[in-house]
Structure 1
Amino acid sequence: MAKIDPPQIDQMMSDAAWLAHRYDASRDAFHMVHISRTHHRKVPFLTDEGFGKSLRPFEVPRSAAIAHAPSPGPVHFIFHSAFCCSTLLVSAFDAAGMSMGLKEPMLFNDISGWRHRGAQGPQVARVLDESLHLLARPFSPGEAIIIKPSNIANPLIPAIMALRAEARAVFLYAPLPDYLISIARKAMWGRLWVRDLLGKLLAEGMVDLGIDPKDYLGLTDLQVAAVGWLAQQAQFRDLLLRIGARAVGLNSEIFVRNPAHSLETLYQHFQLPDAVNAAKAMVETDVFRRNSKTGDAFSAKDRSDAVRDGRDVHAGEIEKVEHWAKEIAVRCAIPLDLPQTL
């Protein structure tokens, strides 16, 4: 890890292409990496794996980074419950001169892990506040930054929205059957992922579905997936009601069916300029013609075909789990469709 002198820190912090990538609590330092706007477009997530070995991180003491950071621009958020076209949505905010989208910065994951290792509330709040400051540096004057954290960081949402009183948010989610289809199509890796997610949600105290903790091991993989979906849906419902007009919900199927309208509404929600024309222009770009993860050509029909094929292969299991989950949703008053939805 390379260290740099203050004059270089000053230059680095004035350029938003230098991304505050990681937070090292043991050294109280940020790791900065240089990511051009073009590179942002190529990677699905702002992770070490996505960047590859060519990028060299620089360690900057937290105090020095904040001392040299310019004033941040407007910042808003896309919170999501996974497998709901969130990468596609945040990519639709890469519009030079208007906004820039950040795809799951690792800073939030680092802060979440630090919390779990025993960091105290005031410490976490300070570093989270300063991390938001660094991530909100605009790429060009007047641009807003739209941040999509990983859903692993969803427990931080109340603190994020409290620290940024002017920020607005969208809560994006997939319909329950589509979520289950996505997990089933990903086979072993998807099923391992939902069990890891459930463990994290339980550790955060976010699962209150009337299921005895000892019974979770007896659930099938797709039942575990449904539990995770219900827990996140309950959190999003509560947050939408608490945050009020600063937040809206968005069903991924509504977004996919009518992206122009969804984007126009979200551009307005985030107070971006010329929302109608900007949305029309964006849906005509390659953003909506390529797979947001791989970059391969991918149409709305390709997506619907993949969903249909997944449903056909796993129909019996998905129907049973969906019925089971809906009964829990009714008992726990968890809405299948969020309030304040576009």
Structure 2
Amino acid sequence: MAAIIVAAVVGFNMANNVPEDTVRQALQNSSTVADGIVANDYVTAQPYDLKNLKIDKQEDESTGEIGAAITGSNKARHVYFSGSMENDFFKTDFTGEAYYVKQGDTWVSLLGPSITGNTTTPLQGVGRISEASESDDYEISNFSSTLDSSNGAYTSTATQDVSYTFWFATDTATNTRTFVFDGDRWKPTGDTAVSNMQTKTNFAGKKFEYADTGSGMFKSGTTNSTIDFTSDDENGQVAATYSLDWKYSGNTSKGSSGQYYLPVNLSGNLTGAIEHEFGKDNFSIELNDAENQVTFTGGEPYATISAGDGESNTMSLSAATNTKYFESPFQTSTYRMSMGTYMQKA
């Protein structure tokens, strides 16, 4: 008789209990579990798996007159539960509650499920250094991060190599940043530290040909000129050879002011160094032929240098000389030949 009574009581309670699978399914389909409790700052957003769910207690509570009118029942089942949710980056232990009413043989959610308490533990360090998705301005390699804990506090130090590639140079550096987990998200403790900054110029092997006579004296003649870059080194030093051939194209070799526009024919070796703001699509360069006292300058402030401001494979240059060879044509010890465009040959 005692066994029959116990079985009847157990059966009655089971019939009046919300099944664990009902709560589990509701939680699994909720945005709370799908998105997690903590923010995805500095990690890759991932769905969570629901684990270790259990119902700790459930009891009837009155729905009140309004609730009864809405639900058709004067009582609701108050369910208390606990468990954990987990993805690659975090594990969150939680408690929660939900309210259900019985409609026929089906339990219908009245309110919830909702999370009433939670504690999150990082399972690995941050997944990236920047807050948003990584910028298209640079490429990342050799990313790594640590996960360190002390007395319940968690920190993560991330490092990565970055590379900015421009047509004229490649910039590389190492970024390091430290984060602390505050229970809700990873937060950086300071700015990103940049080390091992290096710029490797990409001029070697490029050839530029004079394509535009610009303005001034060169308008009066035909110009054939090339600059062939022969080498770069790790300090931004470059070397090149050049030739410059100008011939007067008028009907007479005598100019309007009495000058004789003698042909100009120069060639020689150029050396110089690039000046460049790390990670930016800009540069300036001065190339010198010390023997002939000829200087080519390019880059800022000429807009056609920067890929973002004009043609990415052009170089606007000006040439200046005070060599004796130019004294007769231009009757001055210093003459700045007009700015023109040197375009990179394919």
Q: More relative contact order in 1 or in 2 (CA 8 Å, sep 6+)?
A: 1
Q: Which has the higher strand share?
A: 2
Provide TM-score, normalisation by structure 2.
0.19
Q: Which has the higher helix share?
A: 1
